[in-house]
Amino acid sequence: MAAANRPERADCFLLDEDNGEKKIEYAADTKVANAGTFTFNKEDHTVGNLLRYQLLRDPRVKFAGYMLPHPLIHKCLLRVQTSSSTVSPEEVVSAAIDDLKDETDYLSRSISEAISQWKKENSSGDVMMESLF
Spatial separation of the C-alpha atoms in residues 62 and 47, rounded to whole Å: 20
Mean pLDDT across the stretch 1-28? Answer: 82
Helix axis angle for 89-121 and 45-56, nearest 10°, is 100
Specify the DSSP element, H or E, that contains 35. Answer: strand 35-41
Question: What is the fold, at CATH topology level, of the domain defined by 17-132?
Answer: Gyrase A; domain 2 (3.30.1360)
**Among 10-14, 22-26, 72-76, where is mean pLDDT lowest?**
10-14
Per-residue pLDDT reduced to its tens digit, 77-128: 999 999 998 999 999 999 999 999 999 999 999 999 999 999 999 886 555 5
Assess whether pLDDT exceeds 80 at residue 1.
Answer: no
Assess whether pLDDT exceeds 60 at residue 133.
Answer: no
Residue 21: what pLDDT?
87
**Among 14-23, 45-54, 74-83, 119-128, where is mean pLDDT lowest?**
119-128
Q: Which is nearest to 62 in space by CA: 81, 78, 77?
A: 81
Residue 50: what pLDDT?
97
Residue 10: what pLDDT?
82
Spatial separation of the C-alpha atoms in residues 10 and 122, rounded to whole Å: 42
Its pTM stands at 0.80
